Structure 1
């Protein structure tokens, strides 16, 4: 495993991939987004996840983004690459490409489009893991991907040593307790749904993989720092201020909303790639108002 493998603690933004107005990949802008987040104190970065519009990129573009991330960030913080493919074979190829490029960890999603059985989930994940020496985090997000990584699958993955963590994005926080009761510390748990992040930390998650951190990284880092230091009053205050925006992470237009928030905060652009379109009409106005309200009422934090 890489010497820069994640500790799975702190804040890991699910970073966006930047595009030009015509939809072309903008490597320079993507690198600027990544380095700015690191400068603001995040503990790691997830690239080519949902917010990274993984499935809107060609295989070559994905390799370009990974190389650009390694070039921009180096070993300042760990990089985690999303593995989001239509087939297991293409997931294995991407995994090998990522390892060769120098990415130190992976986040494996269920195969896109197809809704698998528990046995098919196990075969998909175990095949990915056995194709690499890198640590693998599983991404459980039933609302988005129409399947839950249940006990039947996780039981069978216990012997697969490099499956080390779960990004838990189920909307029910009881899932954290159920997983810890069943597996103890076998799987590291990362809170993965922004508007139950603090609940996840209280229930045993060791860190937070966040969408809205891309727009407000300093407050995200301060929230987790306050929690880790036992300053729960400060953590709750930041969380309550943040919550209207954090709810955006649970919506189907989360990518457009997060990119619009980045643009308002001067951290990126709202350009997305088809089939996504930038937010329009009333929805756009609502998100702009939410971001501006948050920006105008930012909490006092000590970095």
Structure 2
């Protein structure tokens, strides 16, 4: 199985109404605006999409709404973030039925599996669906490391085609390339080391802050693709104060607040999360406003 996934895949937000119900219309507006601004794919119901704050039926409703508004314009890859393999298979099969183009499969939540258990979890989902799968490595958030040993155990699972690398250690991109060549498509998954990942072989970027500044995110990746490293570095340095937010514990609240400041969505989040308050809220607003006031020139010279 092969995929043409590349470019910028924002981890889109799930919009919430004032009464804490799902706002599917607002979610569709957020998604449509991102596509119109040039993103090349979408991650539905990732961490930023508050996957683990939703029940099964809500996840299916959100995904169905996103697939509907996307209407085939870009791939829709949905997060599969569950406590165990049975639940992961159930949602993965529902996502396939709902029209998703792929899955972003996380390790089991809560329990930290041993390598052979993690490989069995990935294999179980991979053999239960026909969709291409991106594995999601994020040890700081989920306490589980997807090691080369694990990747070797699932190398024969045809549906597992990609890895989203969100560990802060960028050496992993080179280690994966040395170990597996082009067997797996690599994606940069941590915003504040995204450029390094792209330089080291990542084909695309799963991004949080793209929700607030999609055009700049797309321009950064396009600069790398055409070899304009000076422009890529210029955009990256401008973006970096905000990109650091993606590595913080309150990234969901910060990204949704950034969306709101930029007129693209609401800062409302689902419990147990709550909107940012006090100095932290003021700090994030000031960062977003500073970025908006100093946007780089995205004109391609020559």
Shorter chain as denominator, the TM-score bin is over 0.9
SS for the counterpart of 1:80 is: strand
Cα distance in 2, alignment partners of residues 26 and 113 from structure 1: 28
The aligned residue for residue 290 of structure 1 is 287
Contact 1:6 1:44 in 2 (8 A): no
Q: With the length of structure 1 as denominator, give the TM-score of the two structures.
A: 0.97
Cα distance in 2, alignment partners of residues 101 and 213 from structure 1: 25
Contact 1:106 1:137 in 2 (8 A): yes
Q: 91, 113, 118: which one pairs with 2:88?
A: 91
1:113-262 matches, within 5 Å, as: 113-262=110-259
Q: 5, 8, 13: which one pairs with 2:5?
A: 8
Aligned-residue offset at 1:302: 2.5
Cα distance in 1, alignment partners of residues 5 and 67 from structure 2: 19
SS for the counterpart of 2:291 is: helix
SS for the counterpart of 2:103 is: strand
Cα distance in 1, alignment partners of residues 36 and 248 from structure 2: 28
The aligned residue for residue 271 of structure 1 is 268
Aligned-residue offset at 1:22: 2.2
Cα distance in 1, alignment partners of residues 172 and 149 from structure 2: 14
- Give structure 1 stretches of 5+ with no counterpart: none
1:58-94 CA distance string (max 9 Å, x none): 1111110111011101100000000001111010000
SS for the counterpart of 2:134 is: strand
SS for the counterpart of 1:222 is: helix
Cα distance in 2, alignment partners of residues 302 and 45 from structure 1: 25
SS for the counterpart of 1:161 is: coil
- Give structure 2 stretches of 5+ with no counterpart: none
1:15-34 matches, within 5 Å, as: 15-34=12-31
Contact 1:56 1:274 in 2 (8 A): yes
Q: With the length of structure 2 as denominator, give the TM-score of the two structures.
A: 0.98
Contact 2:3 2:161 in 1 (8 A): no
Contact 2:103 2:132 in 1 (8 A): yes
Aligned-residue offset at 1:6: 4.9
Q: How many residues align structurally?
A: 300
